[in-house]
Structure 1
């Protein structure tokens, strides 16, 4: 039995990737520096990985030449590279749009005759089409609204929160259905929706507030019936779509006997910290509900723009922790941004796995992309998480059995020290070293 290793690490301003193979030998009673793998202990099945095709990402994509476009798309979506099969797309504008827009603005148009899909078709659809061709299969789309049209809201604007006016709840549900229908009639597969992106956040950009009671009522009395009336029962509904510190309370407040069959799961973001224990609570109390991370990125307002290594380590730590506590799907935020971390119509700039310098016309792959590829390339859709134990908190570990029977283990060394590890599985041991601030993928046949 052999352990094939793929490592990405770096210190300062450089990164290195290398590949090596280590042989297993019979365990002679190794006790120290051990990472145990237990393939016989199985948990949930992974759906897969993906990211967001935002208006901003798709606009930057439109500026690149064909070679650069091909590099981005094949890296993310081809079966030979990152194997992304999931895509999140915003309905109407979000902060990562070149401008604010909405598909219609006629308050009295209850039949949505003035609804226009043109703004989505301008940038998002061309990038989505290229992505699907590179994947060689239908991509599964998650649609999320940042705000209803301004006329539907209590504050009369897309920005600064506000709430959905009760008299527009039916019309808003029809509006969301219309978005689904527009994608599906163009041949795309809408797998799921969330009811509202970040329903607790009052933002300078597109935002809308829902209390748990309001979200529950909209779901039960308007959104779910609207999906049924349009024959869209196949579209999964996810609640919350906000940070993890309140994920348990939210699902408890919304899911009861009247809504449990309407809710497929709960979506969450990473911006308020780990809160892996909250996911464990959800998994234990609501074992039939899926948990997905629908958005995560390095915000320049919170993290140092130049500190790309620790940014990648933070997000890899996040992914591993979420996987180990029941997450079955991961969506990165913008797949591509410009050299500023935009465009963003309110200047809320962020990092992305690919940046594009508009002045130099240069595509700049980032360390974050290499980290994400460790997960999405090796932990394929259909992989089943298995049991493990580790000897130190300085490293993060997760492990899966792939559909072909191979075992994949992810090892993240967050420290500046070299860590020795004895990988132990089924009476066999292999000795490896984890390099400082590195991520290593191990494959066992």
Structure 2
């Protein structure tokens, strides 16, 4: 959709997301080969007989993704840290012979698939981009109408340990962080326990998770309790219009903010906004799985639309800065959501969400001082307390 925006619209969107004085996004997540939000299904090398990947083509990525990435880095004034994720291996490598409807990676192609993933990393790095992490597989337990591939915990573990990590070392890519799971929170602890042992512990830098099955914040606590050195990152949390009313903007934005606050309070260290720009329907999506995005573009009327979830995300990204440390906090009711963080400049930021239809009176107490304020119904507010206050 970025290619359809005017230069003024592109600048507005990029400034909001990537300029340091605004949201200051500093990391991005990009799919390897097609995902459901691609204009079509594609593979960089769909040829079964190409054992050395000599026909590997980066053309589909270069067409739309690279121009947006370059423009985003220019606006940010720095290299963005990239996470790569695969939705599916090429069809010929899978048990169901197709990119969608699940299927699994055939054992005889594990070596080639590991090489394929390394090739994707190298294509980005050779163009000067900074790839810092990847996930083994997007949603490895989901059989989807779009690009998908199923891994049991044992299959993911074996592929990681015996194929992917050795291949990355052979290609001098062992500085890339590897994340497992990349799926819903309620199974994240089970996956961690099944994959992380003495043979794989040093290979796993963290676990990526999605929000589609509900809160499950305690699952993050469990992972952190047993594996405190592993990073927990929200890699995907879009609102599907097949589940949520497109016109219920305030309610949908509040859902995202509730999840964000819960994750922040339960050891999440970073998040990716998936997606940052879609068309007026919530696509393009080659399976019509239309979803919300903070920016949507009405092509018929040439109008860039700011959705309410953009404002809600701004409360987190604008004020909680990289390197911030979570502060302990308590609240008097479950009808409010609260998170508090101390930035590197010693300012304390608190984000408060009211999802109720009535206003709430709040008394903020910190360091022996107290002041009263009111949070309106169905709203989110952010406060910043400076060190010299």
| Fold-level similarity (TM above 0.5) | yes
Other-structure match for 1:168: 109
Counterpart among 146, 162, 166 of residue 225 in structure 1: 166
Other-structure match for 1:12: none
Other-structure match for 1:240: 181
Other-structure match for 1:360: 301
Other-structure match for 2:75: 134
Report the secondary structure of 2:243's partner residue.
coil
The answer for unaligned runs of 5 or more in structure 1 is: 1-59
CA distance in 2, matches of 1:327, 1:298: 20
Other-structure match for 2:242: 301
Other-structure match for 1:14: none
Other-structure match for 1:215: 156
Q: CA deviation at 1:110?
A: 1.7
Large movers: runs of 4+ above 2 Å:
none
- Greater RCO, 1 or 2 (C-alpha within 8 Å, sep 6+): 1
Report the secondary structure of 1:389's partner residue.
coil
The answer for unaligned runs of 5 or more in structure 2 is: none
Counterpart among 325, 346, 370 of residue 384 in structure 1: 325
CA distance in 2, matches of 1:390, 1:169: 50
Q: CA deviation at 1:416?
A: 0.9
CA distance in 1, matches of 2:236, 2:148: 15
CA distance in 2, matches of 1:188, 1:416: 46
CA distance in 2, matches of 1:75, 1:294: 20
CA distance in 1, matches of 2:221, 2:212: 18
Cα distance per residue 1:278-312 (max 9 Å; x no partner): 11111111111111110001110111111010000
CA distance in 2, matches of 1:178, 1:168: 15
Other-structure match for 1:375: 316
Matches of residues 42-441 of structure 1 in structure 2 within 5 Å?
60-441=1-382
Report the secondary structure of 2:41's partner residue.
coil
Matched residue count: 386
CA distance in 1, matches of 2:49, 2:271: 39
Cα distance per residue 1:342-379 (max 9 Å; x no partner): 11001000010001001001000111001001100100
Q: CA deviation at 1:63?
A: 0.6
CA distance in 1, matches of 2:225, 2:342: 22
CA distance in 2, matches of 1:436, 1:367: 15
CA distance in 2, matches of 1:185, 1:110: 22
Q: CA deviation at 1:108?
A: 2.0
TM, length-normalised to structure 1: 0.86
